[in-house]
């Protein structure tokens, strides 16, 4: 059944590839080869782009894609090489195309192209984009290691470069550097200590830090510390020492208590970070963000951030992508994590923000929602009718004397000597609007519209997977963008005029 469903996207791409990769878009794709020796692509760029999209759809590696071009009729149909014994292009061409797409930010244009094709078919306009934004975890591709192994891994990589340059074995070079513990594949086996014993763990840390110093001296004396291949690994080891090690109470090195803010957790992928799905569930890597058009169902923009980055950090990039589509948001459906984003802070008057507001409580006393704000006069009125000025982003303090004489005092403040204070959020007007709105059935129905983007996130996660294919933010953004293209192709295929069962998702 899965194969039949899959086959339908292949058929759709086979039939519509000239529409999706029309001539002007092909020329644009060809531009990425302008500065190359030949000044033109080695292969028709649409074919390379189609193979790139099919890779996302089928989740295959570059080698498997090469094999599919010869062995799989469906790939051959889409790439127009039916019955050929050789792939239509080399693996190098595919890898090089991907690299150039990323360098020229043309993976973003692939999404834009699907939006344009959908627009031509569906006739929707950019004037009123109602969108929902949400994120999900993307576990990193790099191995997450503890401090000992991070240090050992980075040092082993540094010495490995020297060993391969000199045509020697790693063990020999490690011994020569005075860091024999780095010779084997497992640092912990080489240390051969009781890892349950805190004293022995402290000994291990001192020995690994000693190995770092020995390697630094070895590189210095051999004039190798500035080598472009070696120094990044030494820098990584130093960074790990800086972030994870502190001075213990007896002056000896000890593992830092708590986690450093930007803690590097992987040698292979230095951009990965610890993140949280919830208070109790942690993940390591990145977050993928998806902005979905609630009317057309298309994914209009996507973003990748490190797992520890606040959600709000992604919206500048998302706004940029929307601007390049000429799209203008009229509704934005988000969860509270995005409330501090520039999309919300710098919104225009005509943008409606839909988000569940924080519950406001005050330990049984009047919450701040019991205080009325007169925005025109900049005045705040308390439940007893006392008024004073307020400033957005400031804290209002009602006069001590007024509160001292107030019959409602017990229900309002626990301060014995001072007056009641109320903080006014920088976006207090929006927060009040959100609270007002969710009191009505219509408002609550509007809030439920955001759920739609969760379905698309799951859809995209199905193709991209929960674990990143690539190292680093940019390559994973590329992978997310091409997964969004696959999602959008499904949406287009289900549009009127494509037949009811064009593609089952």
Q: Does 408 bind ligand SF4 (CB under 6 A)?
A: yes
DSSP 382-395: -TTS-EEE--TTSE
DSSP 173-210: HHHHTT-GGGSSS-HHHHH---TT-HHHHHHHHHHHHH
Nearer to ligand SF4, 383 or 461 (CB): 383
Query: How far, in Å, are 194, 228, 247, 485 from residue 118 at the CA level?
Result: 62, 47, 60, 12
Eight-state DSSP code of residue 300? E
What's the rounded Cα separation, in Å, for the pair 297 and 490? 10
Binding letters toward ligand SF4, positions 25-44, x by CB under 6 A: --------------------
C-alpha distance across the termini of the chain, in Å: 12
Q: Does 224 bind ligand SF4 (CB under 6 A)?
A: no
Q: Does 263 bind ligand SF4 (CB under 6 A)?
A: no
Stretch near ligand SF4 under the rule CB under 6 A, chosen from 62-70, 382-390, 427-435, 441-449:
382-390
Q: Does 243 bind ligand SF4 (CB under 6 A)?
A: no
Choosing from 315, 413, 464, 488, the residue that interacts with ligand SF4 (CB under 6 A) is 413
Nearer to ligand SF4, 298 or 386 (CB): 386
Q: Which two tokens stand for residue 382?
A: 């308390």
Q: Which two tokens stand for residue 144?
A: 């997450």
What's the rounded Cα separation, in Å, for the pair 292 and 449? 11
Q: Which residues contact 60 (CB under 8 A, 6 or more apart)?
A: 68
Q: Does 313 bind ligand SF4 (CB under 6 A)?
A: no
Q: Which two tokens stand for residue 449?
A: 């519209």
3-state secondary structure of 399: coil
Q: Does 409 bind ligand SF4 (CB under 6 A)?
A: yes
Q: What is the CA radius of gyration of the chain?
A: 29
Minimum separation from the CB atom of position 460 to ligand SF4 (A) = 50
Minimum separation from the CB atom of position 376 to ligand SF4 (A) = 21
Q: Does 396 bind ligand SF4 (CB under 6 A)?
A: no
Choosing from 412, 484, 486, 492, the residue that interacts with ligand SF4 (CB under 6 A) is 412
Spatial contact of 151 and 212, defined as CB atoms under 8 Å apart: yes
Minimum separation from the CB atom of position 361 to ligand SF4 (A) = 16
153 to 182, contacts with ligand SF4 by CB under 6 A?
A: none
Minimum separation from the CB atom of position 405 to ligand SF4 (A) = 8
Q: Does 424 bind ligand SF4 (CB under 6 A)?
A: no
Total residues in contact with ligand SF4, by rule CB under 6 A: 14
Distance of CA 275 to the CA centre of its chain: 11
Minimum separation from the CB atom of position 414 to ligand SF4 (A) = 11
Spatial contact of 154 and 168, defined as CB atoms under 8 Å apart: no
Stretch near ligand SF4 under the rule CB under 6 A, chosen from 15-23, 234-242, 254-262, 377-385:
377-385
In which element (H, E) is residue 488 found? helix 473-493
Q: Does 386 bind ligand SF4 (CB under 6 A)?
A: yes
Stretch near ligand SF4 under the rule CB under 6 A, chosen from 173-181, 349-357, 400-408, 461-469:
400-408
Stretch near ligand SF4 under the rule CB under 6 A, chosen from 51-59, 229-237, 267-275, 395-403:
395-403
Nearer to ligand SF4, 116 or 409 (CB): 409
Q: Does 382 bind ligand SF4 (CB under 6 A)?
A: yes
What's the rounded Cα separation, in Å, for the pair 412 and 419? 9
Q: Which residues contact 133 (CB under 8 A, 6 or more apart)?
A: 289, 290, 291, 292, 315, 318, 332, 333, 334, 338, 343, 453
Interface with ligand SF4 (CB under 6 A): 382-384, 386, 398, 402-403, 406, 408-409, 412-413, 419-420
């Amino acid at each position: 059944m899965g194969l039949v469903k899959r086959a339908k996207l292949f058929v759709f791409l086979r039939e519509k590839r000239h529409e999706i990769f029309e001539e002007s878009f092909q020329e644009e794709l060809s531009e990425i080869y302008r500065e190359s020796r030949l000044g033109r692509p080695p292969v028709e760029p649409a074919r390379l782009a189609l193979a790139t999209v099919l890779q996302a759809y089928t989740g295959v590696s570059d080698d498997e894609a090469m094999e599919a071009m010869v062995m799989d009729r469906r790939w051959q149909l889409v790439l127009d090489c039916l019955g050929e014994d050789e792939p239509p292009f080399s693996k190098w061409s595919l890898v090089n195309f991907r690299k150039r797409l990323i360098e020229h930010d043309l993976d973003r244009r692939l999404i834009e192209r699907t939006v344009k094709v959908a627009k031509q078919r569906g006739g929707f306009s950019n004037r009123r984009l109602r969108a929902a934004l949400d994120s999900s975890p993307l576990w990193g591709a790099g191995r997450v290691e503890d401090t000992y192994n991070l240090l050992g891994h980075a040092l082993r990589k540094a010495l490995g470069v020297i060993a391969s340059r000199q045509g020697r074995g790693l063990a020999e070079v490690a011994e020569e550097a005075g860091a024999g513990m780095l010779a084997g594949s497992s640092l912990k086996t080489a240390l051969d200590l009781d890892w349950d014993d805190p004293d022995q763990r402290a000994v291990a840390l001192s020995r690994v830090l000693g190995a770092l110093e020995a390697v630094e001296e070895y590189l210095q004396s051999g004039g190798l510390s500035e080598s472009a291949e070696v120094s990044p690994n030494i820098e990584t080891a130093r960074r790990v020492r800086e972030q994870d090690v502190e001075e213990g109470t007896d002056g000896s090195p000890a593992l830092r208590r708590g986690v450093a803010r930007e803690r590097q957790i992987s040698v292979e992928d230095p951009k990965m970070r610890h993140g949280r799905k919830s208070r109790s569930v942690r993940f390591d890597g990145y977050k993928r963000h998806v902005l979905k058009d609630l009317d057309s169902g298309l994914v209009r923009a996507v973003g990748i951030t490190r797992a520890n980055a606040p959600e709000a950090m992604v919206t500048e990039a998302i706004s940029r992508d929307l601007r390049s589509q000429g799209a203008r948001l009229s509704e934005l459906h988000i969860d509270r994590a995005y409330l501090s984003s520039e999309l919300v802070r710098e919104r225009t008057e005509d943008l409606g923000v839909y988000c569940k507001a924080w519950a406001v409580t005050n330990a049984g006393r009047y919450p701040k929602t019991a205080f009325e704000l007169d925005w025109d006069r900049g005045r705040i009125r308390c439940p007893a009718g006392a008024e004073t000025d307020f400033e957005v982003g400031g804290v209002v303090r009602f006069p001590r004397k007024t509160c001292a004489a107030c019959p409602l005092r017990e229900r309002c403040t626990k301060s014995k000597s001072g007056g009641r204070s109320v903080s006014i959020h920088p976006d207090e007007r929006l927060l009040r609007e959100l609270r007002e709105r969710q009191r009505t059935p219509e408002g609550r129905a509007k809030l439920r519209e955001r759920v739609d983007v969760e379905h698309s996130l799951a859809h995209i996660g199905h193709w991209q997977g929960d674990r990143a294919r690539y190292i680093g933010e940019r390559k994973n953004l590329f992978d997310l963008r091409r997964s969004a293209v696959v999602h959008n192709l499904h949406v287009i295929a289900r549009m009127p005029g494509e037949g009811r069962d064009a593609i089952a998702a």
